[in-house]
Amino acid sequence: MEVVGGSKDSLSWEESVGLFLKIKSPVTSKNRGQLVQVLTHLCQSHAASRLRMMHDQRQLQKLIEHCLTFPVTPGERYSYLMCQLLNSLLRRQGAAMLSSETSDKVILWFSKALHSSSGEFQSEETIREILRALSNILRDAPDHTDEIYTSLAGTQGSLIRTLEFSSSYYVLAPAMQCLHLLTYVTPEVITETRQHGDEIFPAEVVSSIQRIVIRILKQPLPIPTVCPHKLYLNLIASALNIIYNLVVCAPNDVLGNIIVSACRPFVFYGLPGFAHSDLMRYVTETEVDIPISSGVDSDVSSRNYTNRNRRKRLRRKRAQPSRSTADSNSGPCPLMPSIEGVAVGIRSPPPASALTALSLKPQWARTDNATNKENSCSNTGVVAGEESSSGTASCDNSSVEVRTSGSETDFSDLEGGTEKESILMARVRQCSLQAINAVIDKVGKQHKFSYWPPLMCQNPSLMTSVLKDPSPLVRMASLQVINTFLLDSSQVLTLAVDNVGKGSYTTLGHQLGTSLRELHRCLALALLSEKFPGALIRTLKTIELLVENVNYSKLKPGLLTKIVTHVKYFMRYKEAVVQANSFSVMVSILMIKPQVPELQDILLRYQTPAPVSLTSPLEVVNSSALEEELPGEEIDDENNLKRAMEVMNLVSEDECDKSEDEVQGKTMVSWLIQRCVDSLLTPDHDAVRGIYIQVQLQSLKVLSAFVSEHLPIIHQSLPLIQHVISVCSDAVKEPQQKPVNFTHESSDIDPSLMSPDPGVVVEHAYTLLGSLLGAVKTETEKAPNACISSDQVQQLWLWTLQGPLQVLLQMAGATQKASANDGEERSQTKLENDASWRHRENEVPRSQEQVKQIVAMATVLSHLSSSIFESLGEEWISQVIMTVRWLVTNQDPELRLAGVRIMAIIVGFSGVVGNPGGPSLLQETIVTTLDILSEKESNVNRDRLLASWALANMSSVLDVYCDNWKHTESDSEDKLLSSQLIARLLEVGIRTCNDKNKIRTHGVRCVGNVTSFLKASQAAHPSIAPLVTKSVEMLVTCCSTGNNMKTRWNACYALGNILSSGRLPINTVPWRGQVLMTLGKLLESFKNYKVRIQACSALCSLRSREEFGTEYTAIWHVLFNGLDNAQNIIDYQEIRHRDELLNQICQGICQLTTHLTLEDAGMLSELLQLHQDMAQPLFRKAHLSLPPERTGFALSAQSRVEELLRSDALTEPQEQALSILQTLMASEDVSVRN
């Protein structure tokens, strides 16, 4: 291929390559001139040509491999030309054409060349050419070997030496860029490496990179004549990206504190008012964590404007932008004088105090002009905001100035090219925030708050970046760092307090409380001034995390009012995602625990009257929402907003003029409920067509949180909630149908959002219904202080069964009819409306969406209580049982699981136990549950956990069903549970005991319940007897091994049920001694006191002396040893259970005394004498603390001892033992109380 644009006398490309391949290494004086001439021609030919394709890849491979045979000699012309040729080849064709072996060889060759040239001042041009070529090949070959990492970035690596010894920024910038490309690792490689537990970078490489990068970050700002500003910005951006890569790939080897200290000054690089030299001055010094302490809250929401003249002046003033040029013209923000070399933050709030003259309404909600301006600003994007920043930069020598680029060089791309300096500075700030966020994320929730004081409590803080940075991407990065702080931080933030202590130092709680109050204020201001939708969503997410993790009961009131005041406006924002996030914030606010009086005041402060027709839940509620006036709100803006709402049909003129007498006769509805209803019951007009499916779902979640946490507030609005549930649960349409509320499409709305999936709305509507019924169930348990009566609860359930759940009941009834008629056609049982699947009686739903909706409907039945269930009447009870049977026997696994869950809750209700279909439903449910646990494929942990829990609940009421069985006693168990079903129950239960910890707990319960249910005749069955032995051995293993204390406690409880049931011949079973000794070891010295209490209860639950056998005396020793060492607490957390353990052991000794014989008394004489002094005060304390219902064993033991003392011919040991026991058992308090 000839060179395009070359002369006729010039050599062709192939001829030049052939001549070059004939020149062999080493270079001598004879072939040096020819080599330089050929390389010059090759470089010129390749640079001038526009190669469309390299036909002979083998020739190119040979060319590159031949170049690698020549060493780079500093100062030689051919070395520079050879590097230039390789750079040109790699830049045009890339390293993708090379094999991995060849790429490694090229990288190692460049590393050696760079290493040999780094010490020569004359070879700077060669070094820059090497770095160019190295960056090209590193960009296309992201995965490297340890040899390459060590050669380039080890302690003596070529890039490290170049960065250490070079003083030219034209060399430092490309070298840092190569280091950035070297440390970049694809996410797939990171995931695979972590799975195998390997290290990506050698420890030597991580250490050397950190050392050199942090040193460069801490260097002072160079002067423009030495380094152009754009070149310096690219250098710093590459260094910060390297830090980020190291933290992500090697989190255990990085220096978190040093990294955060080095990166923090660049968070504010280029912001007006903050000199970089001042921020860098104290990087290497020790920092003191001093929070911002505002003397006066500058937020306007905390002030009451009652002066009319002041309000008139405020109306005449134009609203100032949040990021105005006034702050930048004022010069750098001065710091307070340092104390012993420590920079102390200013005590006044950040410059955002200029917003005191602003309205509380966000800019988009004030006037139509503001909306138009916002649209124009959002179209311009990031660049518009950053241009304003570049124009307001300070001209002070100590601060960062906007400088023009230097002369055009080969590194013009690193100098920024056509990129503006404002964009490059924003990139530096964003990279520094990403590196800090990576450090905080990797250290974990236990240590991340060590970075809270320098980033959140010192000025400037991260909130300064959120409020003042012109770039929305940087503001979002700052908010992301705050989100990382707030995520899973409730255990630390609960220490925050507002009260100032009297000590000589600031406590951590007061430091957190001050910074949290400042964070609330700044986030509220950020909502007012933010225009970029992405940053606005991130701000709302930050507020949501803040509300979820802060304990407001320890802070002064006012914070929630400030948040709600600002967030409520965005519930009507034009962007659906912003609306949805605003509703999500309200969900977090409603779920605050413990509840604070301020929240109730917020919800009840502004109420809107509801029409009288809302007294019936089936009537439609007209959408109406009144906007309330808030402190600091301009009258003109309020009137404009009211007129705009009248246009949107949200407020009518008649409602604004109604008198108080007319309003008194109506039910008042909270403003939050009304806004949720407006989002769900959308009127058919153009003004509110921007409400999408996300807003509807979040509105339903808000209502669910409202009814579940604040039922006393919302109980008067239950008709309105019922109406919303009725409308939304009946909103299912065919996928081809369009929503009826939207008559035509708009060009500025996404068509995919205009066609929401109605099935999701139905699911959340039934979730709202379940939350309502669950809250009502919890509230009725507080009787007589409940806000809702039992009659109202009954009517609510009747409405539920007749309305929202009618479809589910009809589907179950239609299926039963179809099976009863046997061969009748399905068309005879179809409902009238056949347009939707919900009006058909299909036994198996046709899609996964329909299955989810049926599961949501069925889940509502799990909120039934025993009293309400029995008050519904026989007809409704039979329909519910029929529906549960249809779910349990359905072919779909999700429906079967939903039916099993419902049955596990209602299985103990007397209405189910006494119903003729109850026992058969129990059998079918047990079989279905066993099938779920026996399935090997597609059996996830959630299904096994729910099935094992249900099986444990159902096995605990087998005795109740046997007592209500209508057959003879001899046939009752065989009719209820066959031998095959019992054997299968034990097999599945034993297998469940070997599952995961949460599932194992329920398996232990199931095995214990079934084993204690068996009679001697059943346990002797050939197919059951081996399983009984295995079950007891499994229970012994579970109570004696494992770290899950809940499993151990349940195993002890199950063994106690087996020993105390009286159904099995305990005195003859072979496993009795093993069970008693295991329980004795737990009681004597186990670390968990709750397990010891249950072990003692199980150990002493035997009914006769014969059942104790030869272990009777050993159990006495165990009890006294346990009583003695129960006071030696190793774990301080067990001190709360110590008294209960002592009382249980004393009660157990009393139980053993009731079975005492004279022979046993003689053998226990020495033991009783040894522990008499220790036991007597403990028994006295136990007699005084035990309630009357637990003193029966003490009275029985006292009677037994007195009976034995009246015996004839007592030996001396027997008499001594009985006397000691009489002293221990005797208590005047016991006899008096009984």
pLDDT-flagged residues of the chain (< 70):
1-14, 28-31, 41, 44-60, 74-76, 78, 91-97, 118-123, 142, 282-418, 500-504, 608-668, 682-691, 731-758, 816-846, 936-939, 965-975, 1227-1234
- Say what angle helices 848-860 and 806-821 make with each other, to 10 degrees: 110
> How much is the pLDDT for 791?
87
How far from 702 is each of 222, 707, 1000, CA to CA, in Å? 55, 9, 36
**pLDDT tens readout for residues 127-177:** 888 888 888 888 877 678 888 888 888 888 888 988 988 888 998 999 999
Report d(CA 1003, CA 938) in Å as an integer.
20
Residue pointed to by tokens 């006037």: 367
> How much is the pLDDT for 93?
56
Amino acid at 863: H
Beta strands per DSSP E along 402-455: none
Contact 859, 882 (CB under 8 A): no
**pLDDT tens readout for residues 53-63:** 444 566 667 77
Q: Quick count: other Cβ atoms within 10 Å of Cβ 932?
A: 21
How far from 949 is each of 133, 136, 960, 1003, CA to CA, in Å? 64, 60, 19, 8
Contact 169, 163 (CB under 8 A): no
Residue pointed to by tokens 């080599």: 35
Distance from the Cα of residue 903 to its chain's centroid: 31
Category of 593 on φ-ψ map: left (φ > 0), alpha (ψ -120 to 50) or beta? beta
> How much is the pLDDT for 414?
56
**pLDDT tens readout for residues 1098-1149:** 999 998 999 998 899 999 999 999 999 888 888 888 888 999 999 999 999 9
Category of 84 on φ-ψ map: left (φ > 0), alpha (ψ -120 to 50) or beta? alpha
Report d(CA 448, CA 439) in Å as an integer.
8
> How much is the pLDDT for 25?
73
> How much is the pLDDT for 453?
87
Distance from the Cα of residue 927 to its chain's centroid: 37
Six token digits for residue 758: 């109605």
Report d(CA 585, CA 590) in Å as an integer.
9
Residue pointed to by tokens 């404002």: 422
Report d(CA 53, CA 57) in Å as an integer.
10
> How much is the pLDDT for 762?
86
> How much is the pLDDT for 19?
72
> How much is the pLDDT for 1004?
95
> How much is the pLDDT for 10?
55
Contact 136, 177 (CB under 8 A): no
Report d(CA 231, CA 223) in Å as an integer.
12
> How much is the pLDDT for 500?
64
Report d(CA 90, CA 178) in Å as an integer.
14
User: Which of 1099, 1124, 1020 minimizes the C-alpha distance to 1064?
Assistant: 1020
Contact 322, 525 (CB under 8 A): yes
User: Which of 224, 222, 233, 216 minimizes the C-alpha distance to 269?
Assistant: 233
User: Which of 691, 564, 689, 557 minimizes the C-alpha distance to 630?
Assistant: 564
User: Which of 181, 172, 159, 14 minimizes the C-alpha distance to 95?
Assistant: 181
Six token digits for residue 306: 């009652």
User: Which of 814, 902, 828 minimizes the C-alpha distance to 858?
Assistant: 902
Report d(CA 658, CA 656) in Å as an integer.
6
